[in-house]
Structure 1
Amino acid sequence: MLPQPVRAALRRVLYPARFHLHPALSRYTGPESVVTWAVYEAGFHLWRRTWGRGARLARPIFLIGCPRSGTTIAVDLFALHPEVANLSEAPETWDPRGYEDFEADHHWTAADVLPEDAARLHARFEYHRRWHGRPRFVNKYPRSSVRIDYIRAVFPDAVYIHVIRDGRAVAASMLQALGRRRRGQVKPDMPFTHPPGWRGLIRQDKAEQVALQWRAVVSYIVSKRAELGPAYYEIRYEELCERPRAVLGAAFGFVGLGADEELLARLPERLDSQNYKWKQQLSLQQVETITRTEAPLLEELGYSL
């Protein structure tokens, strides 16, 4: 069995089938092979020092949204497009110095961009795109949802797909995830994404806290809609579950990717929505607290109370 850090690194790399399925190499270069990971990493560092010096990634696609909103299933389905190279989450690329710092501020602005950070992001993502031989690149990283100004400064031609879900379902899912944490594990005061002003949102009542967290993250993204203009697109989790082919087909069109019948046929006709669970998982008091906290934004987004 490979060490967990190595397995985690391997999962972040989607290896080209033409490489790891080659009959002469598959024994040594499968997705769970250190050889494949080592070749990928060695190739990156060599490329960056030589041909990739000053590399620039064009028109990246970023899936954003509050954690537990369906961004993972959305990016997994989006990445089925044959012209897209997917590298999600890539925390070691986004946050090489403080990913595991529970007290870190996740909200970054254009003023936080350092030249070496911009160069690293362009190099890693452009290399990954070239490794797969795909014209476009997509990334889903929860903290990107509160770094839009930062990303715009690094990738001025980026496009953003915002996945929105009923905040009560999101809050219930966040609470459930908190409850699954192992006994004795260090628990940050606020797990998941830290929105602007996150320290002021910490509560003893975690139902209220996750509701405030959802409201702050989504409000931040929504506040950027006008600035982003044609670079911004929304997907509703509920519609994605109901009509994944139509929703993803429209999203492909938004970013300039074609979607023929063969591609759409590879997508599921329907996904099982998990939204019903919040009514079963939450106590009446939790429902009241979460709904009261989220109500203005829920109504603004078109959700019935």
Structure 2
Amino acid sequence: MTRKIRLPIVLLGAPRSGTTLLGKLFAAHPDVAYWEEPRPIWTQGNSWRSDDRLDASHLTEGIAQQIDGVFGRFVLRSGRTRFAEKTPSNLLRIPFIYALYPDVRFIHLVRDPRSVVASMRGMLAKSPDARRVLSRVWETPLGGWPAQIALAFRGMVEPLWRGGRKRFWGPRPPGWQSWIGLPEEIRLAKQWNGLVETGVTELGRLPKETSMVIRYEDLVRDPASSLDLLYDFAGLSREADTLAKAVALVRHPANRSIHGGLTVEQASQVTRETAPLLSTLGYPA
């Protein structure tokens, strides 16, 4: 069936990898209607799963029409012509999204896992953003409200009896429950590994023109060249003033230390957990 959305731009990346910045760069383009983390839209009809993985078998035509309809109306209201979004858990839904939109353009942003883990440790101690939680519930289609409200309740209440620290935060790869109780840096490294390995594997099964991988460190080191490549891959115009306005948004310095806020031992543990992917992605072990 014909879809309302053509050539959607789906930004992929583990949490704390720079996807918010990447989203801002696409939101700055005059042709792009950008939606940040419409997770409840992607999961409608599949809201009660124990992890976030979805494949083509989970996509019925009814679910496809619901998702495409919401995104289509969003673009129509914006007055723009292209749709872009970022949802970190979509690293676990690549076959599902490709089945819905075979003309999708995936952009996978990766970052050194030691920096990611250091940043994610801070998120475990961060107080829940009540306004963000409520907005997520509000944008959830009615049928998904029970699952979304349960998720929001757990996210708001659980830290109260855990000394203000979350037990788990972010996308849930298969097997995530077995990591509960492990040292934080190991648990977070396994989470990163589960997300990024799935993303690399699933994108590798698709036609090459469907996806692009870029490193966060390269993006912030040379934003002008990186953005030119990104817009070109996505099929967006690359006028000089458009590029200049977007590049001006990049104020994040490249990582000065791969350890971030980790001790040397913690960084070593993350390195051991993620070693195969470090090599694949071009990071030092």
TM-score range, shorter chain: 0.7 to 0.9
Task: Check the 8 A contact 2:46/2:58 in 1, yes or no.
Answer: no
Residue 166 of structure 1 is aligned with which of 112, 127, 135?
Answer: 112
Residue 275 of structure 1 is aligned with which of 241, 255, 277?
Answer: 255
**In the TM superposition, what are the counterparts of 1:120-159 in structure 2 within 5 Å?**
120-159=66-105
- Cα distance 1:54–1:249, how it changes in 2: closer, same or farther (>3 A)? closer
Task: Check the 8 A contact 1:244/1:271 in 2, yes or no.
Answer: no
Residue 13 of structure 2 is aligned with which of 65, 76, 82?
Answer: 65
Task: Check the 8 A contact 1:63/1:138 in 2, yes or no.
Answer: yes
Structure 1: stretches of 5+ with no match in the other structure: 1-52
Q: Confirm or deny that 1:108 pairs with 2:54.
A: yes
Comparing 231-240 with 287-296, greater Cα deviation is found at 287-296
> Match of 1:37?
none
Q: For 1:184, give the aligned amino acid.
A: L
Q: What is the TM-score with the length of structure 2 in the denominator?
A: 0.80
> Match of 2:160?
184
- Cα distance 1:63–1:280, how it changes in 2: closer, same or farther (>3 A)? closer
Q: Which has the higher contact order (CA 8 A, sep 6+)?
A: 2
**In the TM superposition, what are the counterparts of 1:224-239 in structure 2 within 5 Å?**
224-228=202-206, 229-239=208-218
Instruction: Give me the whole-angstrom Cα distance separating, in 2, the residues matched to 1:59 and 1:248.
Output: 18
Q: Which runs of 4+ in 1 moved over 4 A?
A: 96-99, 185-189
- 1:111-167: CA deviations, max 9, x gaps? 111333211110011111111121210011111111001111111211100001011
Comparing 182-191 with 244-253, greater Cα deviation is found at 182-191
The percent identity for this pair of structures is 32
Q: For 2:126, give the aligned amino acid.
A: R
1:203 is displaced (CA, Å) by 4.1
> Match of 1:249?
228
Residues matched between the structures, number: 251
Q: What is the TM-score with the length of structure 1 in the denominator?
A: 0.75
- Cα distance 1:262–1:249, how it changes in 2: closer, same or farther (>3 A)? same
Instruction: Give me the whole-angstrom Cα distance separating, in 2, the residues matched to 1:209 and 1:263.
Output: 41
Residue 288 of structure 1 is aligned with which of 260, 268, 271?
Answer: 268
**Based on CA coordinates, which of the two structures has the bigger radius of gyration?**
1
> Match of 2:241?
262
1:219 is displaced (CA, Å) by 0.6
Residue 90 of structure 1 is aligned with which of 29, 32, 38?
Answer: 38
Comparing 293-302 with 185-194, greater Cα deviation is found at 185-194
Instruction: Give me the whole-angstrom Cα distance separating, in 2, the residues matched to 1:59 and 1:279.
Output: 38
Please provide the CA RMSD for this pair. 2.3
Residue 193 of structure 2 is aligned with which of 215, 220, 223?
Answer: 215
> Match of 2:174?
196
Structure 2: stretches of 5+ with no match in the other structure: 129-158
Instruction: Give me the whole-angstrom Cα distance separating, in 1, the residues matched to 2:68 and 2:234.
Output: 19
1:188 is displaced (CA, Å) by 6.1
Instruction: Give me the whole-angstrom Cα distance separating, in 2, the residues matched to 1:202 and 1:113.
Output: 30
> Match of 1:206?
184
1:277 is displaced (CA, Å) by 6.0
Task: Check the 8 A contact 1:98/1:104 in 2, yes or no.
Answer: no
1:177 is displaced (CA, Å) by 0.8
Q: For 2:184, give the aligned amino acid.
A: K
> Match of 1:49?
none
